[in-house]
Amino acid sequence: MTAPGAEHPVLIVGTERSGSNLLRLILESHSRITVPHPPHFMRYLAPLAGSYGDLTQERNRARAVGDALGLLRRHIHPWPHPIRADRIIAEPAGPGLFGIVAAIYEQHRAATGKARWGCKSTFMVAHVADVLRVFPDARFVWLVRDPCDVASSAKRAVFGPSHPYRMARLWRAQQEKARAALDSWGPGVVHLLRYEDLVSRPEEEIGRLCDFLGEKPEPAMLRHHTSAAARQTAALADAWRRAGQPVSTDRIGAGRQGLSTRERLWVDKVTGPVKQSLGYPVDARAGTVRDPRPSAVALRSVSLRARIEYRSMRKDGNHRARLRRDVYVRWLRFRAWKRGGLRPPVRGPAPAARRGSL
């Protein structure tokens, strides 16, 4: 069942710290597409799905909608338009938890007056099949960046694992999911876009992206940094300050300065074949480096996280909002555990589908 009213949505998938905010703002600048900053509904709620019961039942749906809108109220990047819970509860948009998420995005889209909505939650790479059950014509943009540069950025970011070894493991797992989606549904559904290509040849890559989406490129997409959305994002957090700047290549190769030699080798060892398959060189010495001890990774992660939180407390306008959001997520997990429905998210590959059949 497809949610009414909207044309097929656009979802950015992959790994955070890969330029997804840049791509979000480029797409948001198109006159027909709106991409609000994501509260990561499926990331936080999918592990709790079993606690809601049958979502065709109004009482269960109301509980799930309440939890989702609780996330939205505590979002670290406020949405400009209110979302009405009663409309979602009374008129469910589609099956499962993503049907509720789709209805929330659809209300936002209708409020903006645009034709399509997009979602920047890169974690949706684990939920491609869920999306296609609701929107068979959905389009996915697989945004990928050199994992050394991703790990370098993550060492200073409040989002994701801060230790390069842990970040490398996450990057590999998420690219493998994205590759499985591309293999299952084909390039008509999943479009591979390298961050390095986007910032090196923005006009060309935006043109190719628009062709994939069936849209006409617009000059505003190359001026995304001048938009009100870009200024708002840049002002909220130090990690997002580049949102207010034009496209630049100066962050290509950031891992050469941001990671030590050993850290770069760890990343290459973990990501090796996947990294190479995506066109990134792998250091030949990576196979000789020893994996870090788990205790050393844990201690280093604590140290990095303490520095990150201190910097965020001093520089980020949404620091308190993020802490409130994190407390709320823990409360949701506790309530789900009390109801006996807490389950780990499904990690397996997406089921196969005929290429081009959607």
- For residue 353, being part of any structural domain is answered with no
Distances (CA, A) of 326 to 106, 232, 241, 319: 25, 22, 22, 11
| Per-residue pLDDT, 6 | 54
Number of domains composing the chain: 1
Distances (CA, A) of 248 to 34, 132, 252: 23, 34, 9
Taking the complete model, does pTM exceed 0.75, yes or no?
Answer: yes
CATH classification at residue 306: 3.40.50.300
Find, among 128, 69, 126, the residue nearest to 101 by Cα: 69
| Per-residue pLDDT, 254 | 94
- For residue 3, being part of any structural domain is answered with no
Sites in the chain below the pLDDT cut of 70? 1-6, 92-93, 341, 343-358
Phi and psi (nearest 5°) for 84? -90, 120
- For residue 345, being part of any structural domain is answered with no
- For residue 319, being part of any structural domain is answered with yes
Work out the angle between the directed axes of helices 294-315 and 319-339 (0-180°, nearest 10): 130
- For residue 133, being part of any structural domain is answered with yes
Question: At CA 354, angle to CA 46 and CA 356, rounded to 5?
Answer: 100
Per the structure, the complete domain to which residue 234 belongs is given by: 10-339
- Token match 């949405």: residue? 79
| Per-residue pLDDT, 354 | 31
pLDDT in tens, 84-138: 999 999 876 577 899 999 999 999 999 999 999 999 999 999 999 999 999 999 9
- For residue 212, being part of any structural domain is answered with yes
- Which residues on adjacent β-strands are paired with residue 317? none
| Per-residue pLDDT, 240 | 86
CA distance 188 to 68: 31
| Per-residue pLDDT, 339 | 84
